[in-house]
Structure 1
Amino acid sequence: MAGLQHSVVIAAPPERVFDVVADVERWPERIPTVDSVERLDDGPLAVGSRTRLRQPRFSPAVWTVTELTAGKSFTWESKSPGVTVIAAHDVEPHADGSRLTLALTASGPLAGIGWLMTRSLIKRYVETEAASVKAAAEKD
């Protein structure tokens, strides 16, 4: 299994940060590493919700929410032949507002080689996502 984790402190209350990170339909306007988002079901994110995400240099991927704690965290996963990717988005209170932690793991028979080929790009994307959520949450 391969993975990474990145945290950022945000000068906004946890509820605001979670609202920004869970509003995946607005990711393309807020996060430059996301080209488009297509929700495949209606309503707010919930366990079982599916979203098609397009990012530069990656094939479109369908992400399915596997865990959700309202106002605090959600985890989703995407499967392709030989690889399962799990991405977690966790928000917790911090003395200066909130701490957002993004974590990504890849597993499966092709995960190792895939990780070697994409690790630095994924790291930049995760860091950019965290910085973009921070900017959006602190803006309002």
Structure 2
Amino acid sequence: MSVDFRDTITIAAPASVAGDIMKAVQEWPSWTASVSSAVRSSAGPLTVGETVVVTQPKLRPATWTVTKVDTGGFEWTSDSAPGIRNVGGHWATDNGDGTCTAELTLSFAGPLARIVTLLYSSLIRRYIRMEAEGLRKAAETAAQTS
């Protein structure tokens, strides 16, 4: 059984623009206050198997392993906390009118998932919303300047 969090937002930019911003994980601290640092194990385009150490305010650093990547975004997993497995999704889909819908997801599974999400659900929701709003602003700015 998993506990799932999800946020969607409409962005006035193509999915490829939002996807590129999401995949440049090392740049996240510049557009969302929910991430203090993101240190990649590789350079160049984000790739399956790559690890990223993400530090967020009020949380321990977590190591994420990229499991899927395409033009519209990526997915990664983390086993950084004992008794919990996380899956995070960051995807953008074109709406056919020059806009896209970004969907940010975070799932918690494992024996401690229910307890941790009870304690941190407010923070989790706040951080996902911060990421969605920051992504919207960054993608819309990038689309206007290109």
- Normalised by the length of structure 2, the TM-score is 0.92
Q: Which residue in the other structure is 2:120 paired with?
A: 118
Q: Which residue in the other structure is 2:137 paired with?
A: 135
1:31 aligns with 2:19: no
- Normalised by the length of structure 1, the TM-score is 0.95
Change (3 A) 1:81 1:100: same
2:12 and 2:73 map into 1 onto residues whose CA distance is 18
Q: Percent identity at matched positions? A: 35
Q: CA deviation at 1:44?
A: 1.4
**Counterpart mapping for 1:41-52 below 5 A:** 41-52=42-53
**Residue-by-residue CA offset, 1:42-91 (whole Å, 9 max, x unaligned):** 3211110110000011100001001112x113100110210001100111
- How many residue pairs are counted as aligned between the two chains? 139
1:11 aligns with 2:12: yes
1:43 and 1:14 map into 2 onto residues whose CA distance is 20
Any idea what SS the aligned residue of 2:93 has? strand
Q: Which residue in the other structure is 1:107 paired with?
A: 109
Q: CA RMSD in A?
A: 1.0
Q: Which residue in the other structure is 2:54 paired with?
A: 53
2:98 and 2:121 map into 1 onto residues whose CA distance is 30
Q: CA deviation at 1:96?
A: 5.1
Give yes or no for contact 1:9–1:96 (8 Å, CA) kept in 2: no
Give yes or no for contact 2:20–2:72 (8 Å, CA) kept in 1: no
Q: CA deviation at 1:132?
A: 0.2
After superposing the two structures, state which structure 1 stretch, 95-104 or 85-94, moved more: 95-104
Structure 1 runs of 4+ aligned residues shifted over 2 Å read none
Give yes or no for contact 1:10–1:138 (8 Å, CA) kept in 2: yes
2:75 and 2:130 map into 1 onto residues whose CA distance is 18
Task: Give, as a single letter, the amino acid of the residue that structure 1 aligns with 2:139.
Answer: A
After superposing the two structures, state which structure 1 stretch, 48-57 or 90-99, moved more: 90-99
Task: Give, as a single letter, the amino acid of the residue that structure 1 aligns with 2:78.
Answer: S
Any idea what SS the aligned residue of 2:120 has? helix
Give yes or no for contact 2:40–2:52 (8 Å, CA) kept in 1: yes
Structure 2, unaligned stretches of length 5 or more? none
